[in-house]
Amino acid sequence: MSAAQAATDEVLIARIAQGDRLAMQVLYGRHHVRVFRFGLRLVRDEQIAEDLISEVFLDVWRQAGKFEGRSAVSTWLLAITRFKALSALRRRKDAELDDEAANAIEDSADDPEVSVQKKDTSEALRKCLTALSAEHREIVDLVYYHEKSVEEVARIVSIPENTVKTRLFYARKKLAELLKAAGIERGWP
């Protein structure tokens, strides 16, 4: 995101704080897809992810007056989304979801369909990215897709900056292990 857009995001938030619904629509139009995708990758349920974005932007409507601009608006949105997603997961008692997904990638080794996929490194990579734990998925997405810096990720996930770096390193290592289990060697590690 450009500095100019970040600045206008802050103006939108200031207008939302005054009850400007048009500003809310503009902000929603600008960010709702990324918020949805980030939430969907965490909760893995489209219905819940859609409910999440309504909740996230309703929070923005209510809390805009308290936004202090210490981080970019997009970083604030992702932090709210993450909090809401984790709450939704807790509500559903869906902790076993990650284990199921991780098992799925290993179990698929004998699947002839997957054997064909193995030839396609890109597709296998995407499948393995889906199979990462929620903790690893979110950090990979925040850095690669949402283009967040070390400091911004630290703010969103509420962990120290050094932990951000090591967590992504180990997420990548896990990804390499999953790929290896699927028969794909990439030369690292």
- 35 CB-near residues (< 8 Å, 6+ apart): 52, 53, 56, 57, 77, 78, 81
Cα 67 to Cα 71: distance, rounded to the nearest angstrom: 9
C-alpha of 120 from chain center: 25
Residue listed under structure tokens 């028969």: 183
Cα 99 to Cα 74: distance, rounded to the nearest angstrom: 30
Contact (Cβ atoms closer than 8 angstroms) between residue 83 and residue 35: no
150-179 footprint of other proteins as x/- string (CB under 8 A): x--------------xx-xx--xx-xx---
Strand ranges inside the chain, DSSP E: none
Contact (Cβ atoms closer than 8 angstroms) between residue 107 and residue 178: no
C-alpha of 179 from chain center: 21
Cα 85 to Cα 138: distance, rounded to the nearest angstrom: 11
58 binds other proteins (CB under 8 A): yes
Contact (Cβ atoms closer than 8 angstroms) between residue 147 and residue 72: no
Min separation Cβ 100 and other proteins, Å:
19
44 binds other proteins (CB under 8 A): no
CA atoms lying within 13 Å on the CB side of residue 82: 19
19 binds other proteins (CB under 8 A): yes
Min separation Cβ 180 and other proteins, Å:
12
Among 90, 92, 126, 180, binds other proteins (CB under 8 A): 126
| Count of residues of this chain found to bind other proteins when the rule CB under 8 A is applied | 57
Residues 90-109 contacting other proteins, CB under 8 A:
none
Among 31, 40, 72, 76, binds other proteins (CB under 8 A): 40
Min separation Cβ 145 and other proteins, Å:
4
Among 26, 63, 97, 130, binds other proteins (CB under 8 A): 130
37 binds other proteins (CB under 8 A): yes
* Chain residues in the site for other proteins (CB under 8 A): 7-8, 10-11, 14-15, 17-19, 21, 24-25, 28, 32-33, 36-37, 40-41, 46, 49-51, 53-54, 57-58, 61-62, 65, 121-122, 125-126, 129-130, 140-141, 143-145, 147-150, 165-166, 168-169, 172-173, 175-176, 186-189
